[in-house]
Amino acid sequence: MAISSPKDKYFGVWWIFFMLGLGTLLPWNFFMTATMYFTSRLRETPAEDLAANQTETAGDHRSILEAKFNNVMTLCAMLPMLLCTYLNSFLHSLIPQRLRVMGSLLVIMFLFIITAILVKVSLEPLVFFSITMAKIVIINSFGAILQGSLFGMAGLLPASYTTPIMSGQGLAGTFAALAMICALASGSELHNAAFGYFITACVVIFLSVLSYILLPKLEFYQFYQEKDKKGGSEEQNSLSVMNKEMNDAETDQMEQPNISQMKIFKKIWVLALSVCFTFTVTIGTFPAITADTRSTLSDGGSWDLYFIPVCCFLLFNLCDWGGRSLTAAVMWPGKDSLILPVSIVCRLGFIPLFMLCNVQPRLNLPVFFHHDCFFIIFMVFFAFSNGYLASLCMCYGPKKVLPHEAETAGAIMAFFLSLGLAMGAAASFLFRALV
């Protein structure tokens, strides 16, 4: 006799997954959106070292550390994220979920507290650059473990419970961009504004910790956890019976996990590669190219100050969030439709479009799209398509496999998401150099 699932009272589990999704990408977005603060610290170069540190690009008077900050930051974020997501996809059954999630959140919160403290500490540019990159590596390593664990947890629940994770991740960028704009609008010095900015991140991550503590107490979540345990026990009993009928039972038990991983991947490989390609295009372009775009309506005043925070970071994250959230109401095309991967491949066209905007400094390509409105229109479609198509892939992945395989499928999808981020980070160096 089938047992009906309890209701998610007041959408408690939905909102907790939303909050945890917010916590997974908030650290990365806070670092990425605060590039004005970080580059201002790298600009504080002694006059005698200025000539040695300046780039050779004509008209570009930034130091090497300042000029390469976006590219190096993206690479330091995405490669550790890829490695740790890969490890999580294999080790999630060996390390308790509570340790992975709670431990990751606490480490991230501790490093943000350190980041806020360092705002008040004077450091040489190279030392500051090195410490910042080390923090980005550690934060994104634990963020990857958190993200992989979270998608694995959502894989055990109905398909609609991947949406709050993706929506929360979309809000992370929007929240970070709004926080930075408010900090700039406050009229405070950049360093003082950055201090309040990073303290805000600590508060949000602390709320994510409290949300996760509450999650196991909710009946709806308990039901699916117990259902998974029962399903796993039945599968293990079946395997034990089969193993007794085989001569080399021990060898078979060692090989079974590898066979299971490959079997699951064969079911979801199109969606896995699709989400990978989506983020390769996105991170290859944003922020390495888009954050270097300059307004052609420059008046030397407030529009110059707010152009990148508003038209690049805030606009991207609002539209990305809208795309991710739309999947709660509309899930088209279907999980087996060719329209989904074809739409994702078509996003390649955004790369040359952004390259031909007013990206500065530039060496090779002409500026074809002079007016700011072109950049804004491209950004709207670029961000919305990223959020919607990526969310569709992540929702469909765990639902193309058997229920007891859903957590592993979620972890595999998270790995390919991180693979796309890492590939995009590597590609960003090439794309930026072509401009």
pLDDT in tens, 397-431: 988 988 878 878 887 888 898 889 889 988 998 99
pTM: 0.74
Number of domains in the chain: 1
Which range marks the domain in which residue 418 is found?
Answer: 12-45+59-227+260-434
Residues with Cβ within 8 Å of 321's Cβ and at least 6 positions away in sequence, in order, are 167, 170, 171, 173, 174, 387
Does 379 map to a domain? yes
Does 239 map to a domain? no
User: For residue 398, which of 388, 387, 412, 418 has the smallest C-alpha distance?
Assistant: 412
Q: Which residue has the higher pLDDT, 350 or 167?
A: 350
Number of Cβ within a 10 Å radius of residue 48 = 7
Question: Cα angle vertex 25, ends 22, 29, to 5°?
Answer: 115
Quickly count helices (H) and strands (E) in the chain: 17, 0
**pLDDT, tens digit (0-9, with 9 covering 90-100), for 54-98:** 444 444 556 788 878 888 888 888 888 888 877 876 776 788 888
108 in Cβ contact with 205 (< 8 Å): yes
Q: Please give the Cα distance from 289 to 355 (Å, whole number).
A: 7
Does 154 map to a domain? yes
User: For residue 23, which of 177, 216, 159, 206 has the smallest C-alpha distance?
Assistant: 206
- Which range is least confidently modeled, 73-87, 143-157, 184-198? 184-198
**DSSP-derived 3-state class of residue 54:** strand
> How far is CA 26 from its chain centroid?
8
Does 208 map to a domain? yes
Q: Please give the Cα distance from 114 to 12 (Å, whole number).
A: 32
Q: Please give the Cα distance from 232 to 56 (Å, whole number).
A: 60
Does 316 map to a domain? yes
**Model pLDDT, residue 182:** 82
Token pair, residue 274, equals: 């699709």
Does 6 map to a domain? no
Residue 196's CATH number: 1.20.1250.20
Task: Supply the DSSP symbol for 289.
Answer: T
Does 232 map to a domain? no
Does 248 map to a domain? no
| b/e burial code for range 202-230 (CB count within 10 A of at least 16 → b) | bebbeebbebbeebeebebbebbbebbee
